[in-house]
Structure 1
Amino acid sequence: MKKIALAIALIASLVMPTQAQAAQTGFMGGPLTNLDPASASIHIALSNFPKDGGLYIQECVKPVAGSRPTLCNSAVQLWISTSAGATFLPTSDIVFKPTAAFNAGTTAVDCTVSSCGIFLRYDHTVPGNLTEDQFIAVTFKSSGAAPTKPVDEITATINGVPLSTRTAMKISYRQLATLAAQAKSGAALTYASLAPACALKKMAITALKGSGYCDIAITSPGTLEFGPVNAHFPLELTLGVQTIPTFQVSGSRHTTVPMRSNFGEKVTYLGTGSCTVTNRIITAKKGTCTIVAGAPGVNGLYQPLNLRVVTVIK
Protein backbone atom coordinates (compact mmCIF):
# COMPACT_ATOMS: atom_id res chain seq x y z
CA MET A 1 0.00 0.00 0.00
CA LYS A 2 2.88 2.37 0.77
CA LYS A 3 4.32 1.83 -2.72
CA ILE A 4 0.94 2.57 -4.30
CA ALA A 5 0.55 5.73 -2.23
CA LEU A 6 4.03 6.90 -3.21
CA ALA A 7 3.29 6.25 -6.87
CA ILE A 8 0.05 8.23 -6.69
CA ALA A 9 1.84 11.12 -4.98
CA LEU A 10 4.55 11.11 -7.64
CA ILE A 11 2.02 11.14 -10.48
CA ALA A 12 0.12 13.99 -8.84
CA SER A 13 3.29 16.06 -8.58
CA LEU A 14 4.10 15.46 -12.25
CA VAL A 15 0.72 16.55 -13.55
CA MET A 16 0.32 19.59 -11.29
CA PRO A 17 -0.03 22.69 -13.51
CA THR A 18 2.81 25.23 -13.43
CA GLN A 19 0.46 28.03 -12.37
CA ALA A 20 -0.17 26.20 -9.09
CA GLN A 21 3.45 26.79 -8.00
CA ALA A 22 4.30 29.81 -5.86
CA ALA A 23 5.77 32.73 -7.80
CA GLN A 24 9.52 33.25 -7.44
CA THR A 25 9.33 37.04 -7.31
CA GLY A 26 8.97 38.59 -3.87
CA PHE A 27 6.59 41.55 -3.57
CA MET A 28 6.86 44.24 -0.90
CA GLY A 29 4.90 47.46 -1.17
CA GLY A 30 2.33 49.82 0.19
CA PRO A 31 0.01 51.30 1.05
CA LEU A 32 -2.49 48.67 -0.12
CA THR A 33 -5.66 49.67 1.74
CA ASN A 34 -7.92 52.72 1.93
CA LEU A 35 -6.31 54.22 -1.18
CA ASP A 36 -7.26 57.56 -2.68
CA PRO A 37 -9.63 56.75 -5.57
CA ALA A 38 -8.01 59.17 -8.05
CA SER A 39 -4.41 59.76 -6.93
CA ALA A 40 -3.11 56.61 -5.24
CA SER A 41 0.62 55.82 -5.33
CA ILE A 42 1.95 52.43 -4.24
CA HIS A 43 5.71 52.05 -3.81
CA ILE A 44 6.86 48.55 -4.73
CA ALA A 45 10.14 46.70 -4.18
CA LEU A 46 10.72 43.37 -5.94
CA SER A 47 13.11 40.62 -4.87
CA ASN A 48 14.23 37.35 -6.49
CA PHE A 49 13.40 38.81 -9.90
CA PRO A 50 13.18 36.04 -12.53
CA LYS A 51 15.99 35.55 -15.04
CA ASP A 52 13.79 34.24 -17.87
CA GLY A 53 12.12 37.58 -18.66
CA GLY A 54 10.55 40.77 -17.36
CA LEU A 55 7.25 41.31 -15.56
CA TYR A 56 4.09 43.31 -16.13
CA ILE A 57 2.45 44.99 -13.13
CA GLN A 58 -1.25 45.49 -13.77
CA GLU A 59 -4.36 46.65 -11.93
CA CYS A 60 -7.07 44.03 -12.43
CA VAL A 61 -10.27 42.63 -11.05
CA LYS A 62 -9.50 39.48 -9.05
CA PRO A 63 -9.80 36.42 -11.31
CA VAL A 64 -11.20 33.03 -10.43
CA ALA A 65 -8.61 30.64 -9.01
CA GLY A 66 -6.26 29.17 -11.60
CA SER A 67 -6.92 31.73 -14.33
CA ARG A 68 -5.62 35.11 -15.39
CA PRO A 69 -7.64 38.33 -15.02
CA THR A 70 -9.64 39.55 -18.00
CA LEU A 71 -10.59 42.99 -16.67
CA CYS A 72 -7.47 45.15 -16.29
CA ASN A 73 -6.60 48.86 -16.37
CA SER A 74 -4.30 49.20 -19.40
CA ALA A 75 -3.68 52.89 -18.68
CA VAL A 76 -1.63 52.19 -15.53
CA GLN A 77 0.24 49.02 -16.60
CA LEU A 78 3.99 48.98 -15.88
CA TRP A 79 6.72 46.97 -17.64
CA ILE A 80 9.53 45.91 -15.31
CA SER A 81 12.64 44.75 -17.15
CA THR A 82 16.30 45.41 -17.89
CA SER A 83 15.37 45.76 -21.58
CA ALA A 84 15.36 49.14 -23.29
CA GLY A 85 12.04 50.92 -23.03
CA ALA A 86 10.92 49.33 -19.76
CA THR A 87 9.01 51.53 -17.31
CA PHE A 88 11.21 50.59 -14.35
CA LEU A 89 14.29 48.47 -13.69
CA PRO A 90 13.70 45.50 -11.35
CA THR A 91 15.87 47.18 -8.69
CA SER A 92 14.05 50.53 -8.84
CA ASP A 93 11.62 52.06 -6.36
CA ILE A 94 8.62 51.16 -8.50
CA VAL A 95 5.71 53.60 -8.27
CA PHE A 96 2.36 52.11 -9.27
CA LYS A 97 -0.72 54.34 -9.57
CA PRO A 98 -3.99 52.37 -9.63
CA THR A 99 -7.38 54.08 -9.82
CA ALA A 100 -10.66 53.16 -8.17
CA ALA A 101 -12.56 53.32 -11.45
CA PHE A 102 -11.47 52.34 -14.95
CA ASN A 103 -12.74 50.89 -18.20
CA ALA A 104 -11.58 47.49 -19.46
CA GLY A 105 -12.74 47.56 -23.06
CA THR A 106 -16.47 48.15 -22.87
CA THR A 107 -16.73 47.15 -19.19
CA ALA A 108 -16.77 49.87 -16.51
CA VAL A 109 -15.04 48.73 -13.32
CA ASP A 110 -15.60 50.24 -9.87
CA CYS A 111 -13.01 48.91 -7.43
CA THR A 112 -15.04 50.11 -4.45
CA VAL A 113 -17.53 47.42 -5.47
CA SER A 114 -15.39 44.80 -7.26
CA SER A 115 -12.37 43.07 -5.70
CA CYS A 116 -9.38 44.69 -7.38
CA GLY A 117 -5.67 44.31 -6.89
CA ILE A 118 -2.16 44.30 -8.28
CA PHE A 119 -1.46 41.47 -10.72
CA LEU A 120 2.11 40.41 -11.53
CA ARG A 121 2.85 38.23 -14.56
CA TYR A 122 5.63 37.48 -17.02
CA ASP A 123 5.97 39.96 -19.88
CA HIS A 124 5.71 39.30 -23.62
CA THR A 125 9.14 37.64 -23.75
CA VAL A 126 7.85 34.60 -21.82
CA PRO A 127 4.44 33.93 -23.41
CA GLY A 128 2.16 31.34 -21.86
CA ASN A 129 4.22 30.93 -18.68
CA LEU A 130 2.00 31.43 -15.62
CA THR A 131 4.57 30.65 -12.92
CA GLU A 132 5.07 34.30 -11.96
CA ASP A 133 1.35 35.08 -11.74
CA GLN A 134 0.36 36.54 -8.38
CA PHE A 135 -2.47 38.77 -7.18
CA ILE A 136 -2.16 41.29 -4.33
CA ALA A 137 -5.47 42.76 -3.16
CA VAL A 138 -5.93 46.52 -2.73
CA THR A 139 -8.86 48.59 -1.46
CA PHE A 140 -9.99 52.17 -2.06
CA LYS A 141 -11.90 54.74 -0.08
CA SER A 142 -15.59 54.53 -0.90
CA SER A 143 -15.75 58.10 -2.22
CA GLY A 144 -14.37 57.08 -5.60
CA ALA A 145 -16.46 58.23 -8.53
CA ALA A 146 -17.06 56.43 -11.79
CA PRO A 147 -14.77 57.51 -14.65
CA THR A 148 -16.01 60.46 -16.64
CA LYS A 149 -14.66 59.02 -19.87
CA PRO A 150 -13.54 55.60 -21.11
CA VAL A 151 -9.93 54.76 -21.89
CA ASP A 152 -9.12 54.98 -25.59
CA GLU A 153 -8.75 51.75 -27.58
CA ILE A 154 -6.00 51.06 -30.12
CA THR A 155 -6.19 48.49 -32.91
CA ALA A 156 -3.09 47.67 -34.95
CA THR A 157 -2.04 45.41 -37.82
CA ILE A 158 1.14 44.31 -39.58
CA ASN A 159 0.67 43.63 -43.28
CA GLY A 160 -3.07 43.60 -42.62
CA VAL A 161 -2.90 40.92 -39.90
CA PRO A 162 -4.29 42.06 -36.50
CA LEU A 163 -1.82 42.46 -33.62
CA SER A 164 -2.50 41.36 -30.05
CA THR A 165 -1.26 42.80 -26.77
CA ARG A 166 -1.24 39.27 -25.31
CA THR A 167 0.13 37.00 -28.06
CA ALA A 168 3.29 37.80 -30.01
CA MET A 169 3.08 37.92 -33.81
CA LYS A 170 5.96 36.21 -35.61
CA ILE A 171 8.02 38.21 -38.11
CA SER A 172 11.20 37.02 -39.79
CA TYR A 173 14.57 38.71 -40.18
CA ARG A 174 14.40 41.58 -42.71
CA GLN A 175 10.79 40.71 -43.58
CA LEU A 176 8.71 43.52 -45.07
CA ALA A 177 6.47 44.48 -42.13
CA THR A 178 4.18 47.50 -42.52
CA LEU A 179 2.49 48.76 -39.37
CA ALA A 180 -0.96 50.36 -39.35
CA ALA A 181 -2.95 51.50 -36.32
CA GLN A 182 -5.86 53.64 -35.30
CA ALA A 183 -7.49 54.85 -32.10
CA LYS A 184 -11.18 54.55 -31.40
CA SER A 185 -11.12 58.24 -30.47
CA GLY A 186 -9.50 59.26 -33.75
CA ALA A 187 -6.56 60.81 -31.85
CA ALA A 188 -3.14 61.03 -33.50
CA LEU A 189 -0.95 58.15 -32.34
CA THR A 190 2.75 58.00 -31.53
CA TYR A 191 4.89 54.93 -32.10
CA ALA A 192 8.09 53.48 -30.63
CA SER A 193 10.10 50.27 -30.83
CA LEU A 194 11.23 49.46 -27.29
CA ALA A 195 13.79 46.81 -28.29
CA PRO A 196 16.97 47.35 -30.35
CA ALA A 197 16.28 44.14 -32.30
CA CYS A 198 13.53 45.95 -34.24
CA ALA A 199 13.95 49.20 -36.16
CA LEU A 200 10.89 51.38 -36.70
CA LYS A 201 11.08 53.98 -39.48
CA LYS A 202 7.82 55.76 -40.20
CA MET A 203 5.45 52.77 -40.35
CA ALA A 204 7.99 50.14 -41.48
CA ILE A 205 9.27 47.62 -38.93
CA THR A 206 12.55 45.84 -39.69
CA ALA A 207 13.63 42.84 -37.63
CA LEU A 208 17.42 43.05 -37.16
CA LYS A 209 17.72 39.57 -35.63
CA GLY A 210 16.31 36.13 -36.31
CA SER A 211 15.43 35.31 -32.70
CA GLY A 212 14.15 37.01 -29.57
CA TYR A 213 11.32 39.47 -29.03
CA CYS A 214 10.45 43.09 -29.75
CA ASP A 215 7.85 45.40 -28.24
CA ILE A 216 6.03 47.99 -30.34
CA ALA A 217 4.48 50.68 -28.13
CA ILE A 218 1.60 52.75 -29.51
CA THR A 219 0.29 55.69 -27.49
CA SER A 220 -2.92 57.66 -27.70
CA PRO A 221 -3.00 60.99 -25.81
CA GLY A 222 -6.76 60.69 -25.51
CA THR A 223 -9.40 63.27 -26.34
CA LEU A 224 -12.19 65.10 -24.57
CA GLU A 225 -14.26 61.91 -24.81
CA PHE A 226 -11.54 59.26 -24.26
CA GLY A 227 -8.72 58.87 -21.76
CA PRO A 228 -5.08 58.25 -22.79
CA VAL A 229 -3.67 54.76 -23.25
CA ASN A 230 -0.31 53.13 -24.01
CA ALA A 231 -0.63 49.76 -25.76
CA HIS A 232 2.23 47.27 -26.13
CA PHE A 233 2.27 44.79 -29.02
CA PRO A 234 4.88 41.98 -28.72
CA LEU A 235 6.66 40.51 -31.75
CA GLU A 236 8.53 37.19 -31.89
CA LEU A 237 11.51 37.20 -34.26
CA THR A 238 12.25 34.17 -36.46
CA LEU A 239 15.00 33.26 -38.93
CA GLY A 240 14.82 34.97 -42.31
CA VAL A 241 13.88 32.97 -45.40
CA GLN A 242 16.59 33.02 -48.04
CA THR A 243 15.35 33.19 -51.65
CA ILE A 244 16.49 33.86 -55.21
CA PRO A 245 14.51 35.28 -58.14
CA THR A 246 12.56 32.67 -60.10
CA PHE A 247 13.99 31.35 -63.35
CA GLN A 248 12.70 29.09 -66.11
CA VAL A 249 14.69 26.35 -67.80
CA SER A 250 14.26 26.04 -71.55
CA GLY A 251 15.62 23.60 -74.06
CA SER A 252 15.64 26.22 -76.83
CA ARG A 253 17.87 28.79 -75.13
CA HIS A 254 20.44 29.22 -72.40
CA THR A 255 19.20 30.40 -68.99
CA THR A 256 21.24 32.63 -66.69
CA VAL A 257 20.62 32.04 -62.99
CA PRO A 258 21.02 34.61 -60.16
CA MET A 259 24.46 35.00 -58.61
CA ARG A 260 23.35 35.97 -55.10
CA SER A 261 20.41 35.42 -52.77
CA ASN A 262 18.19 38.10 -51.27
CA PHE A 263 20.65 38.26 -48.34
CA GLY A 264 23.69 38.65 -50.58
CA GLU A 265 25.03 35.11 -50.21
CA LYS A 266 26.74 33.58 -53.25
CA VAL A 267 24.56 30.83 -54.71
CA THR A 268 25.98 27.55 -56.02
CA TYR A 269 24.14 25.43 -58.60
CA LEU A 270 24.18 21.79 -59.61
CA GLY A 271 22.43 20.54 -62.72
CA THR A 272 21.60 16.87 -63.21
CA GLY A 273 19.57 14.85 -65.67
CA SER A 274 19.16 16.61 -69.01
CA CYS A 275 20.89 19.86 -67.99
CA THR A 276 24.16 21.27 -66.74
CA VAL A 277 25.12 24.55 -65.08
CA THR A 278 28.40 26.21 -66.01
CA ASN A 279 29.32 29.75 -64.95
CA ARG A 280 25.68 30.37 -63.94
CA ILE A 281 24.38 29.38 -67.39
CA ILE A 282 22.00 26.43 -67.73
CA THR A 283 22.27 24.31 -70.85
CA ALA A 284 19.38 21.88 -71.24
CA LYS A 285 18.01 19.34 -73.67
CA LYS A 286 14.97 17.09 -73.80
CA GLY A 287 14.31 15.10 -70.65
CA THR A 288 14.04 15.80 -66.93
CA CYS A 289 16.26 18.61 -65.72
CA THR A 290 16.94 19.05 -62.00
CA ILE A 291 18.62 22.19 -60.70
CA VAL A 292 19.69 22.40 -57.05
CA ALA A 293 20.57 25.86 -55.72
CA GLY A 294 22.28 26.35 -52.37
CA ALA A 295 23.68 29.13 -50.21
CA PRO A 296 24.91 29.25 -46.61
CA GLY A 297 22.80 30.73 -43.83
CA VAL A 298 23.93 32.83 -40.88
CA ASN A 299 23.28 31.62 -37.35
CA GLY A 300 20.70 33.78 -35.64
CA LEU A 301 19.77 35.70 -38.80
CA TYR A 302 18.60 33.59 -41.74
CA GLN A 303 18.26 30.01 -42.94
CA PRO A 304 20.43 28.33 -45.59
CA LEU A 305 19.07 28.24 -49.13
CA ASN A 306 18.24 24.76 -50.40
CA LEU A 307 16.13 25.05 -53.54
CA ARG A 308 15.33 22.22 -55.94
CA VAL A 309 13.78 22.99 -59.34
CA VAL A 310 12.64 20.11 -61.56
CA THR A 311 11.65 20.81 -65.18
CA VAL A 312 10.54 18.35 -67.86
CA ILE A 313 11.74 19.60 -71.25
CA LYS A 314 9.94 18.25 -74.32
Structure 2
Amino acid sequence: MAVLVIADHDGAHLRDTTLKVITAVQNLSGDIDVLVYGDAAGVASQAAAAAGVRKVLTAESAELKADIAEAVSALIVSLAAGYDVIAVPATASGKNVAPRIAAALDVSIISDVIEVVAGDTFVHPIYAGNALETVKTSDAKKVLTVRPTAFAPVAATGGSAAVAAVAVPAVTLKTRFVSDEKVVSDRPELGAAKVVVSGGRALGSADEFKAVLEPLADKLGAAVGASRAAVDAGYAPNDYQVGQTGKVVAPELYIAVGISGAIQHLAGMKDSKVIVAINKDPEAPIFQVADFGLVEDYKTAVPALLKALG
Protein backbone atom coordinates (compact mmCIF):
# COMPACT_ATOMS: atom_id res chain seq x y z
CA MET A 1 0.00 0.00 0.00
CA ALA A 2 1.57 3.28 -1.14
CA VAL A 3 1.09 6.32 1.08
CA LEU A 4 1.69 9.99 0.31
CA VAL A 5 2.24 12.23 3.35
CA ILE A 6 1.89 15.97 2.80
CA ALA A 7 4.68 17.79 4.64
CA ASP A 8 4.00 20.62 7.06
CA HIS A 9 6.85 23.16 7.12
CA ASP A 10 7.65 26.85 7.36
CA GLY A 11 9.98 27.04 4.39
CA ALA A 12 13.06 26.39 6.49
CA HIS A 13 12.15 23.69 8.98
CA LEU A 14 10.11 20.51 8.75
CA ARG A 15 7.57 20.63 11.56
CA ASP A 16 7.22 17.59 13.79
CA THR A 17 3.57 17.34 12.74
CA THR A 18 4.93 15.70 9.58
CA LEU A 19 6.93 13.19 11.62
CA LYS A 20 3.81 12.36 13.62
CA VAL A 21 1.75 11.74 10.48
CA ILE A 22 4.48 9.37 9.27
CA THR A 23 4.10 7.47 12.54
CA ALA A 24 0.34 7.25 12.00
CA VAL A 25 0.58 5.71 8.54
CA GLN A 26 3.35 3.24 9.39
CA ASN A 27 0.61 0.83 10.49
CA LEU A 28 -0.41 0.57 6.82
CA SER A 29 2.74 -1.47 6.08
CA GLY A 30 3.46 0.20 2.76
CA ASP A 31 5.89 2.56 1.08
CA ILE A 32 5.72 6.09 2.49
CA ASP A 33 6.57 9.08 0.32
CA VAL A 34 6.55 12.69 1.50
CA LEU A 35 5.52 15.66 -0.64
CA VAL A 36 7.23 18.97 0.15
CA TYR A 37 5.74 21.89 -1.77
CA GLY A 38 6.48 25.61 -1.76
CA ASP A 39 9.96 26.50 -0.49
CA ALA A 40 11.06 22.90 -0.81
CA ALA A 41 14.83 23.08 -1.24
CA GLY A 42 15.80 23.53 2.40
CA VAL A 43 13.15 21.22 3.79
CA ALA A 44 13.48 18.25 1.42
CA SER A 45 16.71 17.04 2.98
CA GLN A 46 15.11 17.11 6.42
CA ALA A 47 12.18 15.05 5.18
CA ALA A 48 14.58 12.63 3.49
CA ALA A 49 16.32 12.06 6.83
CA ALA A 50 13.09 11.05 8.60
CA ALA A 51 12.82 7.39 9.52
CA GLY A 52 10.60 5.23 7.33
CA VAL A 53 10.45 7.49 4.27
CA ARG A 54 11.07 5.91 0.85
CA LYS A 55 11.07 9.02 -1.33
CA VAL A 56 10.65 12.78 -1.01
CA LEU A 57 8.84 14.61 -3.80
CA THR A 58 9.38 18.34 -4.21
CA ALA A 59 7.36 20.95 -6.10
CA GLU A 60 7.92 24.69 -6.24
CA SER A 61 5.91 27.61 -7.62
CA ALA A 62 4.78 31.02 -6.43
CA GLU A 63 1.26 29.69 -5.84
CA LEU A 64 2.49 26.74 -3.84
CA LYS A 65 4.76 28.97 -1.78
CA ALA A 66 1.71 31.10 -0.97
CA ASP A 67 -0.12 27.89 0.06
CA ILE A 68 -3.10 28.60 -2.20
CA ALA A 69 -5.39 25.61 -1.68
CA GLU A 70 -6.46 25.36 -5.34
CA ALA A 71 -2.84 25.03 -6.49
CA VAL A 72 -1.89 22.61 -3.69
CA SER A 73 -4.88 20.33 -4.24
CA ALA A 74 -4.27 20.27 -8.01
CA LEU A 75 -0.68 19.19 -7.40
CA ILE A 76 -1.67 16.42 -5.02
CA VAL A 77 -4.47 15.16 -7.28
CA SER A 78 -1.97 14.97 -10.14
CA LEU A 79 0.12 12.58 -8.03
CA ALA A 80 -2.80 10.58 -6.61
CA ALA A 81 -2.73 7.79 -9.23
CA GLY A 82 0.39 6.36 -7.64
CA TYR A 83 -0.99 6.19 -4.08
CA ASP A 84 -3.63 4.33 -2.11
CA VAL A 85 -3.64 6.74 0.85
CA ILE A 86 -3.08 10.49 1.02
CA ALA A 87 -2.41 11.66 4.59
CA VAL A 88 -2.51 15.34 5.51
CA PRO A 89 -1.76 16.86 8.95
CA ALA A 90 -4.95 18.21 10.54
CA THR A 91 -3.64 21.77 10.57
CA ALA A 92 -5.46 24.84 9.27
CA SER A 93 -3.74 24.40 5.91
CA GLY A 94 -4.37 20.66 5.84
CA LYS A 95 -8.05 21.05 6.67
CA ASN A 96 -8.31 23.58 3.86
CA VAL A 97 -6.82 21.38 1.16
CA ALA A 98 -7.90 17.83 2.11
CA PRO A 99 -11.63 18.23 1.27
CA ARG A 100 -10.68 19.59 -2.15
CA ILE A 101 -8.52 16.54 -2.82
CA ALA A 102 -11.28 14.16 -1.74
CA ALA A 103 -13.86 15.95 -3.88
CA ALA A 104 -11.62 15.89 -6.94
CA LEU A 105 -11.02 12.15 -6.46
CA ASP A 106 -14.73 11.53 -5.72
CA VAL A 107 -14.02 9.82 -2.40
CA SER A 108 -14.99 10.46 1.20
CA ILE A 109 -12.65 12.32 3.53
CA ILE A 110 -11.85 10.78 6.91
CA SER A 111 -10.98 13.62 9.25
CA ASP A 112 -9.01 13.89 12.49
CA VAL A 113 -7.73 10.31 12.46
CA ILE A 114 -6.25 9.30 15.83
CA GLU A 115 -5.72 5.60 15.08
CA VAL A 116 -5.06 3.58 11.96
CA VAL A 117 -6.56 0.13 12.54
CA ALA A 118 -6.09 -1.24 9.02
CA GLY A 119 -5.78 -0.05 5.44
CA ASP A 120 -9.51 0.64 5.28
CA THR A 121 -10.36 1.20 8.95
CA PHE A 122 -9.69 4.33 11.00
CA VAL A 123 -10.70 5.84 14.34
CA HIS A 124 -11.55 9.50 14.85
CA PRO A 125 -13.31 11.56 17.53
CA ILE A 126 -16.85 12.86 17.12
CA TYR A 127 -19.17 15.02 19.25
CA ALA A 128 -16.30 17.32 20.26
CA GLY A 129 -14.22 14.38 21.36
CA ASN A 130 -16.86 12.85 23.64
CA ALA A 131 -17.07 9.69 21.53
CA LEU A 132 -14.78 7.78 19.19
CA GLU A 133 -16.03 6.47 15.87
CA THR A 134 -14.45 3.61 13.92
CA VAL A 135 -14.87 4.11 10.18
CA LYS A 136 -14.41 1.44 7.52
CA THR A 137 -14.28 2.72 3.95
CA SER A 138 -14.63 0.93 0.63
CA ASP A 139 -13.11 3.83 -1.35
CA ALA A 140 -10.20 2.76 -3.52
CA LYS A 141 -8.23 5.80 -2.39
CA LYS A 142 -8.27 7.12 1.14
CA VAL A 143 -7.88 10.80 1.98
CA LEU A 144 -7.12 11.39 5.65
CA THR A 145 -6.45 14.30 7.91
CA VAL A 146 -4.38 13.05 10.83
CA ARG A 147 -4.47 14.62 14.28
CA PRO A 148 -0.75 14.97 15.09
CA THR A 149 -1.25 15.20 18.86
CA ALA A 150 -2.40 11.57 18.90
CA PHE A 151 0.96 10.22 17.71
CA ALA A 152 4.62 10.36 18.68
CA PRO A 153 7.02 11.54 15.96
CA VAL A 154 9.28 9.16 14.08
CA ALA A 155 13.01 9.79 14.39
CA ALA A 156 14.02 12.92 12.53
CA THR A 157 17.34 11.38 11.52
CA GLY A 158 18.56 8.04 10.26
CA GLY A 159 16.64 7.92 7.00
CA SER A 160 18.16 8.22 3.53
CA ALA A 161 15.24 8.75 1.17
CA ALA A 162 15.74 9.77 -2.43
CA VAL A 163 14.64 13.27 -3.44
CA ALA A 164 12.93 13.94 -6.77
CA ALA A 165 11.21 16.98 -8.24
CA VAL A 166 7.74 16.60 -9.74
CA ALA A 167 5.97 18.73 -12.33
CA VAL A 168 3.57 21.41 -11.14
CA PRO A 169 0.30 21.17 -13.10
CA ALA A 170 -1.07 24.24 -14.81
CA VAL A 171 -4.27 25.38 -13.15
CA THR A 172 -6.51 28.43 -13.50
CA LEU A 173 -6.81 29.94 -10.06
CA LYS A 174 -9.76 31.90 -8.74
CA THR A 175 -7.74 32.93 -5.71
CA ARG A 176 -4.71 35.18 -5.55
CA PHE A 177 -2.20 35.79 -2.79
CA VAL A 178 -2.50 39.27 -1.30
CA SER A 179 -0.44 39.34 1.89
CA ASP A 180 0.75 37.26 4.79
CA GLU A 181 0.72 38.65 8.31
CA LYS A 182 2.58 36.51 10.80
CA VAL A 183 2.79 36.85 14.56
CA VAL A 184 6.49 36.85 15.42
CA SER A 185 7.27 35.57 18.90
CA ASP A 186 10.18 34.15 20.83
CA ARG A 187 7.80 31.73 22.52
CA PRO A 188 7.28 28.18 21.25
CA GLU A 189 4.66 27.54 18.58
CA LEU A 190 1.33 26.73 20.21
CA GLY A 191 0.77 23.42 18.46
CA ALA A 192 4.23 22.09 19.31
CA ALA A 193 4.84 23.59 22.77
CA LYS A 194 5.50 21.32 25.76
CA VAL A 195 3.90 23.86 28.09
CA VAL A 196 0.85 26.01 27.30
CA VAL A 197 -0.63 28.79 29.43
CA SER A 198 -4.16 29.72 28.33
CA GLY A 199 -6.54 32.41 29.43
CA GLY A 200 -10.28 32.88 29.22
CA ARG A 201 -12.83 35.65 29.08
CA ALA A 202 -12.62 36.07 32.86
CA LEU A 203 -9.41 38.08 32.39
CA GLY A 204 -11.59 40.95 31.24
CA SER A 205 -9.44 42.78 28.69
CA ALA A 206 -6.60 42.40 26.21
CA ASP A 207 -4.27 44.36 28.51
CA GLU A 208 -5.10 42.14 31.47
CA PHE A 209 -4.70 39.01 29.33
CA LYS A 210 -1.22 40.11 28.34
CA ALA A 211 -0.21 41.33 31.80
CA VAL A 212 -1.28 38.14 33.56
CA LEU A 213 -0.35 35.39 31.12
CA GLU A 214 2.80 36.56 29.38
CA PRO A 215 5.03 36.76 32.50
CA LEU A 216 3.92 33.26 33.50
CA ALA A 217 4.48 31.92 29.98
CA ASP A 218 7.93 33.52 29.84
CA LYS A 219 8.85 32.01 33.20
CA LEU A 220 7.82 28.53 32.06
CA GLY A 221 9.06 28.80 28.47
CA ALA A 222 5.46 28.24 27.42
CA ALA A 223 3.23 29.12 24.49
CA VAL A 224 0.19 31.30 25.13
CA GLY A 225 -3.28 30.06 24.27
CA ALA A 226 -6.82 31.32 24.69
CA SER A 227 -10.39 30.13 24.83
CA ARG A 228 -12.72 30.98 21.98
CA ALA A 229 -14.57 33.39 24.26
CA ALA A 230 -11.34 35.30 24.93
CA VAL A 231 -10.53 35.45 21.22
CA ASP A 232 -14.06 36.53 20.29
CA ALA A 233 -13.82 39.28 22.91
CA GLY A 234 -10.63 40.56 21.30
CA TYR A 235 -8.33 39.70 24.19
CA ALA A 236 -6.08 37.49 22.04
CA PRO A 237 -5.42 36.92 18.31
CA ASN A 238 -7.12 34.09 16.43
CA ASP A 239 -4.00 31.96 16.25
CA TYR A 240 -4.03 31.68 20.06
CA GLN A 241 -7.37 29.88 20.08
CA VAL A 242 -7.42 26.38 21.55
CA GLY A 243 -10.52 24.30 20.98
CA GLN A 244 -12.72 22.50 18.51
CA THR A 245 -12.63 25.42 16.08
CA GLY A 246 -9.07 26.40 16.99
CA LYS A 247 -5.92 24.40 17.61
CA VAL A 248 -5.80 20.99 19.23
CA VAL A 249 -2.88 20.75 21.65
CA ALA A 250 -1.52 18.02 23.90
CA PRO A 251 1.41 19.52 25.82
CA GLU A 252 3.13 18.04 28.85
CA LEU A 253 1.58 20.80 30.96
CA TYR A 254 -1.54 22.88 30.26
CA ILE A 255 -2.43 25.73 32.62
CA ALA A 256 -5.93 27.14 32.21
CA VAL A 257 -6.42 30.56 33.82
CA GLY A 258 -9.96 31.89 34.12
CA ILE A 259 -11.33 29.32 31.66
CA SER A 260 -14.69 27.79 32.53
CA GLY A 261 -14.14 24.66 30.45
CA ALA A 262 -16.84 24.75 27.79
CA ILE A 263 -16.96 21.59 25.68
CA GLN A 264 -15.62 23.54 22.69
CA HIS A 265 -12.43 24.33 24.60
CA LEU A 266 -12.05 20.91 26.22
CA ALA A 267 -12.04 19.30 22.78
CA GLY A 268 -8.80 21.12 22.03
CA MET A 269 -6.79 20.42 25.20
CA LYS A 270 -8.14 17.52 27.25
CA ASP A 271 -5.44 15.15 25.95
CA SER A 272 -2.75 17.25 27.67
CA LYS A 273 -0.58 15.16 29.99
CA VAL A 274 -1.11 17.35 33.07
CA ILE A 275 -3.89 19.94 33.30
CA VAL A 276 -3.85 22.70 35.92
CA ALA A 277 -6.98 24.83 36.30
CA ILE A 278 -7.24 28.16 38.12
CA ASN A 279 -10.80 29.42 38.49
CA LYS A 280 -12.70 31.05 41.31
CA ASP A 281 -15.88 29.13 40.43
CA PRO A 282 -15.73 25.72 42.15
CA GLU A 283 -18.42 24.41 39.76
CA ALA A 284 -16.50 25.28 36.60
CA PRO A 285 -16.48 22.29 34.18
CA ILE A 286 -12.70 22.67 33.68
CA PHE A 287 -12.18 21.02 37.08
CA GLN A 288 -13.70 17.79 35.76
CA VAL A 289 -10.73 17.24 33.46
CA ALA A 290 -8.04 18.96 35.54
CA ASP A 291 -5.35 16.95 37.30
CA PHE A 292 -4.81 19.86 39.68
CA GLY A 293 -7.42 22.50 40.42
CA LEU A 294 -7.13 25.73 42.38
CA VAL A 295 -10.35 27.50 43.36
CA GLU A 296 -8.94 31.00 43.57
CA ASP A 297 -9.14 34.36 41.84
CA TYR A 298 -6.43 34.47 39.17
CA LYS A 299 -5.42 37.92 40.44
CA THR A 300 -4.20 36.24 43.60
CA ALA A 301 -3.19 32.83 42.26
CA VAL A 302 -1.01 33.81 39.29
CA PRO A 303 1.20 36.31 41.19
CA ALA A 304 1.64 33.72 43.95
CA LEU A 305 2.62 31.11 41.35
CA LEU A 306 5.12 33.48 39.77
CA LYS A 307 6.63 34.22 43.18
CA ALA A 308 6.92 30.51 43.97
CA LEU A 309 8.66 29.89 40.63
CA GLY A 310 11.29 32.45 41.62
TM-score by length of 1: 0.29
Greater C-alpha Rg? 1
Instruction: Give 1 or 2: higher strand fraction.
Output: 1
Greater helix fraction, Structure 1 or Structure 2: 2
